[in-house]
């Protein structure tokens, strides 16, 4: 992905920025800042040093500054570059970075292939870049554990900011809030008054610093030519065979404006440390469907989705002999459902019968115009064929996507891919079913655990596709193989 960005935009100056280890000024402001995040897994931590080495060998400056976060370093460099007339592109998926956007500073999310300028920020968040900090201060940010004002969600924050302006205006003219048209407007001034300290604390936490003291300027962050022998050694060591072949054949491309590298570029690292781990997947929007009405409502949502993830749960790995126990679906990251049809443990709740569920789902599953993604859908197709359903509309398979991207990666099962691409440890079957001779079959597992496990399967599958597909699209060779 980094290589693709360099080749697409051909920068003369760039930087890869990591978080430094240790506390930052935000931890001093609020002891619970990011405290809900789990520690970085050891296997992820072990990847940081090789990653740094590869970034260096690619000819890219690498930065980490203690006491602040990577976002603060990026914000400082972006503003500095803008002042000297350079257009800036920031690769990120974090919404707080939208506060940096100007006509000359743009965000790109390579996962979704979307670009955010000032107009796109307004379209996405309902407020302009200059009010993003106020937006986050009011509604909070669960990913960073920024509290926000209790009772203020996204819609209310938008209404307040669109109606009156920023946080300072809201507190300077509280009498005007009751005149706004959103639900709860008449009591909102009181809520804000009671939580003024929290609001301004959240404002400070959400503000990206743009005045970090750095030991170099943006003009010094020149992109260098890749160091072929170092890249080759690293790619061979970590068995990146496709990239190894690219370097050996001279196909490892470089930015046109890159400076010749007479010697390995020194990495500019101040208190070097690994970046923050990805936040764990949330299960808040997972549902277990137990009635026709809810299932029919979900079917309508699935029909409208650009692509949805799909998975079957059975009592056997042999898809010919397997009995269908349930089906799971995901329509967007974090939004997934499980439809149990044959859980038969003692005191199991009533479920939609297998026959009725498949009767409702069959038109959707057989509709070739409704695009579907799965993990090893060959298995699921075989299961459904046992019940007279021909799965159509298979647009993507994450197992195949992974194999084509890196056929020598080792394992292409969902758990391994989730760890590799999402930095998320999935719920394993053994976690809910146990091990050995006493291991339960899926129909014997309580719905509370089974529903979370199955919905996560679909959710992770969809998120894997959204990560891997843009990467595939950057490489014509692998893309052609997939499409064939």
pLDDT single digits (tens) 299-340: 999 999 999 999 999 998 888 889 999 999 999 999 999 999
| Ranges 70-84, 188-202, 391-405, 453-467: which has the least confidence | 391-405
User: Are the C-beta atoms of 324 and 310 separated by less than 8 Å?
Assistant: no
Structure tokens at 322: 């397997």
Sheet holding 286-288, edge to edge: 286-288, 335-340, 324-332, 308-314, 372-374, 394-397
Cα distances (angstroms) measured from residue 392 to each of 99, 206, 228, 274, 482: 43, 46, 45, 43, 17
Alpha-carbon gap, residue 167 to 158, rounded angstroms: 12
Of residues 295 and 31, more confidence is placed in 295
Residue 428 has what DSSP assignment?
P
Confidence of residue 477 (pLDDT cuts 50, 70, 90): very low
The rounded percent of the chain whose pLDDT value lies above 70 is 89
Please report the pLDDT score of residue 481 as a whole number. Answer: 45
Alpha-carbon gap, residue 115 to 92, rounded angstroms: 10
Element (H or E) spanning 330, and its range?
Answer: strand 324-332
CATH class, range 2-206: alpha beta
Alpha-carbon gap, residue 84 to 99, rounded angstroms: 20
Closest C-alpha among 305, 324, 366, 319 to residue 454: 324
Of residues 1 and 117, more confidence is placed in 117
Of residues 409 and 392, more confidence is placed in 392
Confidence of residue 255 (pLDDT cuts 50, 70, 90): low
pLDDT digits 0-9 by tens, 121-169: 999 999 999 999 999 999 998 878 888 999 899 999 999 999 999 999 9
Residue 177, classed as helix, strand or coil, is: helix
Of residues 281 and 460, more confidence is placed in 460
| pTM to 2 decimal places | 0.54
User: Are the C-beta atoms of 303 and 314 separated by less than 8 Å?
Assistant: no
pLDDT digits 0-9 by tens, 463-476: 999 988 887 777 55
Of residues 167 and 279, more confidence is placed in 167
Of residues 478 and 405, more confidence is placed in 405
Task: Spell out the long-range contacts of 123-130 with Cβ–Cβ below 8 A and sequence spacing 24 or more.
Answer: 124/98, 125/95, 125/98, 125/158, 126/154, 126/158, 126/161, 126/162, 127/157, 127/158, 127/161, 127/162, 129/98, 129/99, 129/100, 129/101, 129/102, 130/99, 130/166
Please report the pLDDT score of residue 438 as a whole number. Answer: 87
Instruction: Look at residue 276 and tell me whether its pLDDT is greater than 90.
Output: no
Helices 42-57, 228-237: axis angle to 10 degrees equals 160
Residue 106, classed as helix, strand or coil, is: strand
Of residues 240 and 447, more confidence is placed in 447
Please report the pLDDT score of residue 200 as a whole number. Answer: 94
Confidence of residue 408 (pLDDT cuts 50, 70, 90): very low
User: Are the C-beta atoms of 273 and 452 separated by less than 8 Å?
Assistant: no
Cα-flanking dihedrals φ and ψ of residue 347, to 5°? Answer: 70, 20
Confidence of residue 265 (pLDDT cuts 50, 70, 90): very low
User: Are the C-beta atoms of 3 and 58 separated by less than 8 Å?
Assistant: yes
Q: Taking the domains of the chain in order of start, what are their residue ranges?
A: 2-206, 286-483
User: Are the C-beta atoms of 478 and 472 separated by less than 8 Å?
Assistant: yes
Alpha-carbon gap, residue 160 to 263, rounded angstroms: 55
Cα distances (angstroms) measured from residue 88 to each of 124, 290, 310, 434: 20, 50, 39, 52
CATH for 286-483 (3.40.640.10, 3.30.420.10, 3.50.50.60, 3.30.565.10)? 3.30.420.10
Rg of the chain over Cα atoms, rounded to whole angstroms, equals: 25
Task: Please provide the average confidence, as pLDDT, over all residues in the chain.
Answer: 85
Alpha-carbon gap, residue 436 to 398, rounded angstroms: 29
Confidence of residue 253 (pLDDT cuts 50, 70, 90): low
pLDDT digits 0-9 by tens, 230-252: 888 988 888 888 888 888 887 66
Alpha-carbon gap, residue 59 to 56, rounded angstroms: 5
Element (H or E) spanning 244, and its range?
Answer: helix 241-248
Of residues 258 and 462, more confidence is placed in 462
Confidence of residue 67 (pLDDT cuts 50, 70, 90): confident
Please report the pLDDT score of residue 472 as a whole number. Answer: 78
Average pLDDT of the residues in 183-199? 92
Cα distances (angstroms) measured from residue 438 to each of 150, 270, 325, 444: 47, 53, 19, 12
Query: Exposure of 122 by Cβ count < 10 A (0-12 exposed, 13-18 middle, 19+ buried)?
Result: middle
């Amino acid at each position: 992905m980094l290589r693709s960005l360099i080749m697409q935009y051909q920068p003369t100056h760039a930087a890869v920025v990591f978080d430094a280890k240790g506390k930052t000024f935000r931890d001093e402001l609020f002891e619970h800042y990011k405290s809900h995040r789990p520690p970085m897994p050891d296997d992820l931590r072990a990847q940081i040093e090789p990653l740094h080495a590869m970034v260096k060998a690619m000819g890219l400056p690498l930065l980490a500054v203690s006491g602040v976060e990577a976002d603060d370093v990026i914000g400082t460099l972006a503003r500095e570059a803008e002042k000297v007339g350079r257009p800036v592109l920031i690769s990120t998926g974090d919404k707080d970075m939208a506060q940096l956007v100007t006509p000359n500073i743009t965000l790109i999310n390579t996962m979704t292939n979307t670009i955010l300028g000032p107009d796109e920020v307004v379209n996405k968040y309902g407020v302009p870049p200059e009010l993003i900090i106020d937006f986050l201060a009011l509604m909070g940010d669960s990913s960073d554990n920024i509290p926000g004002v209790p009772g203020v969600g996204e819609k209310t924050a938008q209404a307040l900011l669109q109606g009156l302006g920023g946080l300072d205006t809201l507190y300077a003219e509280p009498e005007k809030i009751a005149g706004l048209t959103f639900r709860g407007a008449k009591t909102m001034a009181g809520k804000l008054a009671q939580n003024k300290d929290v609001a301004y604390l959240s404002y400070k936490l959400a503000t990206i610093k743009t005045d970090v003291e750095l030991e170099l300027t943006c003009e010094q962050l020149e992109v260098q030519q890749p160091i072929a022998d170092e890249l080759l050694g690293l790619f061979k060591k970590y068995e990146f065979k496709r990239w190894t072949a690219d370097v050996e054949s001279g196909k490892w491309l470089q930015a046109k404006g890159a400076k010749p590298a007479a010697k390995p570029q020194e990495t500019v690292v101040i208190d070097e440390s690994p970046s923050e781990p990805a936040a764990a997947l949330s299960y808040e929007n997972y549902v277990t469907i137990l009635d026709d009405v809810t299932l029919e409502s979900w079917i309508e949502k699935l029909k409208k989705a650009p692509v949805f993830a799909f998975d079957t749960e059975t009592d056997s790995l042999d898809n010919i002999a397997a009995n269908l126990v349930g089906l799971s679906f995901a329509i967007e990251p974090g939004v997934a459902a499980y439809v149990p049809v044959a859980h038969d443990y003692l005191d199991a709740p009533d479920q939609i019968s297998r026959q009725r569920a498949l009767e409702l789902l069959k038109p959707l599953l057989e509709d070739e115009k409704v695009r579907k993604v799965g993990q090893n859908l060959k298995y699921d197709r075989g299961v459904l064929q046992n019940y007279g359903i021909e799965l159509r509309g298979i647009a993507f398979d994450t197992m195949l996507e992974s194999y084509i991207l890196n056929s020598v990666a080792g394992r292409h099962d969902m758990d391994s891919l989730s760890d590799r691409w999402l930095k998320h440890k999935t719920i394993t079957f053994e976690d809910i079913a146990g091990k050995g001779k006493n291991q339960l079959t899926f129909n014997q597992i309580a719905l509370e655990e089974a529903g979370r496990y199955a919905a996560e399967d679909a959710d992770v599958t969809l998120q894997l596709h959204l990560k891997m597909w843009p990467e595939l699209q950057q490489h014509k060779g692998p893309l052609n193989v997939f499409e064939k």
